[in-house]
Structure 1
Amino acid sequence: MSQVPAATRALRVLRFLASQPDPVPLDRIMRACDLPRSTAYHLLRAMVDEGFVVHLADEHRYGLGVAAFEVGSGYSRQEPLQRIARRPLAALVDRVGHSAHLAVLHGRDVLYVLEERAPGRPPLVTDVGVRLPAHLTASGRAILAGLPAAQVRALYPGPSAFVDRHGTGPRTLSALRTVLSETRQRGYATEEGEVTPGLASVAAAVLDHNAHPVAGVAVTYAEGDPAVLAEQVRRAADGLSRRIGGRS
């Protein structure tokens, strides 16, 4: 195995572990990251030695280690994505006249890391630092639609994973898959009243160089043409993708 594939597999394992609410067994990691057992074991062993993964021997599970936390803390301090996105998000708000925000996936939630509020628009629940269920938000659906099916399945193993806010939205993996399939076919994600009654959102994913969704750009509105707004949101997301060396 060359160094590049090994590094890619290690990063996929880290990304998967970061998306889980708790440490997970080896079999879950193998399925989610599409790794043979021997490869997964040796890769995890090396990551344990470097401090990026911790092995809970009594539980036969693996979780993120202190080194992974240090990397995440460094990212939080530098806020590179937020810095890059601030001006494009402000320009998006100027074009559409509605508030916009940037969110990243955190387990089964989206974490809002940037918000640009349109003048005269009311405050939203999507303030910076707020977390909301990914399967109910347009930003979350835009991100989830770009993830491997195995990773989505691992995130939503059963009905208890589907948090309810206002009695709407998918409540099973099958229903979520339908929503994500429609998102991919449409080219953007939507939600209508599932986060806040009376408000709707459209969103598109920001992609890295592997076409992996690293964030979602969304606009929230009370009145407007979702297709017209989505075109502007996709334009902003594509521009951010290019700025981070990703694919538009």
Structure 2
Amino acid sequence: MSGCRGVIVSYMGQSPPSAVPAARQALRVLSHLGAQRGPVPASAVARDLGIPRSACYRILTALVDHGYAIHYPEDRRYGLGYAAYELSSGFSRQAPLSRLGAPILAALVDHVGETAHLGVLDGTDVIYLLEQRAPHRPVLITDVGVRLPAHQTATGRSLLACLPATQLRALYVEDPVYRRSARPFRDLPHLRRTLGEVTRAGFAAESGEVSDGFASVAVAIRDRNGWPAASLAVTFPHGNVPEESWPDLAQRIERFASELGRRLSGAAPAR
């Protein structure tokens, strides 16, 4: 597959535009491998992507040569290689969520005048990656690095509501869903009903369940595959935003969440 490598390298040196489709095909094959549950035959890759088998084999050979794919000769299948894992590790080291989220969080706080957070799901917990405190607002429990039960927070509920039912069951079926407040989730069906309300509303909310006297509204941010990547939330004193105004606040948060999702996916800005 030296020919394919030459095409990609020559493109880096401002070669003919024909290099771009070749690079895109290679990335499509790599992305397809990453989306599978296990190694797959080259014929299946070619069929699923609608490319000629000969071209698919050449691309796979190049990916194997560079460590981005592994060939399992006995099974006649291909899977992701160690170089792909290194890319994933590099992505984590560069902390794109924090880097891309910080200016958006600051802009959101300027827009709504309340404290905002960025959190991610980790099992049945939510971890707060960023906090931007609004002027004259107190320190909250949801500080950077804090871990809380996901079902207890608006941030966590917005993320859990994006999960398939099978994934939600896998997270909670073995351990009782516990709560710290006076209104516990007693079972998985109760949690599912709560998350169903989140799905219908398009946002999650909680009032006084994390910090007395404060409420939160959160909107999930999905990655390009529709998986919940993070959640953007605003926390405010009860009297500042009446409950009937929470849907309006959620729509305002959604605009900033959509922009962060666009940046994470690498999509071009809307014109």
TM-score, structure 2 normalization: 0.65
Alpha-carbon distance, 1:123 to partner:
0.6
2:156 paired residue among 119, 126, 140: 140
Distance 1:5 1:219 in 2: 36
- Look at both structures and tell me which one has the larger radius of gyration over its CA atoms: 2
- Map residues 28-177 of structure 1 onto 2, 5 A cutoff: 74-158=90-174, 160-177=175-192
Distance 1:109 1:73 in 2: 22
Calculate percent identity across the aligned residue pairs.
Answer: 48
Aligned-residue RMSD, C-alpha: 2.8
Q: Which runs of 5+ in 1 are unaligned?
A: 12-41, 52-66
Number of the residue aligned with 2:218: 203
Distance 1:5 1:71 in 2: 16
Amino acid at match of 2:249: L
CA contact (8 A) 1:169 1:194 kept: no
2:254 paired residue among 201, 217, 234: 234
CA contact (8 A) 2:108 2:116 kept: yes
Which moves more between the two structures, 168-177 or 200-209? 168-177
CA contact (8 A) 1:110 1:131 kept: yes
CA contact (8 A) 2:98 2:130 kept: yes
Number of the residue aligned with 1:7: 34
CA contact (8 A) 2:219 2:232 kept: yes
Distance 1:213 1:207 in 2: 4
Number of the residue aligned with 1:220: 235
Amino acid at match of 1:123: V
Number of the residue aligned with 1:193: 208
Distance 1:143 1:233 in 2: 15
| Bigger relative contact order (CA 8 A; separation at least 6) | 1
Distance 2:125 2:201 in 1: 23
Amino acid at match of 2:203: Y
Distance 1:4 1:85 in 2: 25
Amino acid at match of 1:233: I
Distance 1:75 1:245 in 2: 13
TM-score, structure 1 normalization: 0.71
Q: Deviations over 1:140-188 (max 9, x none)?
A: 1111111111001100114x44232122242311011111111111111
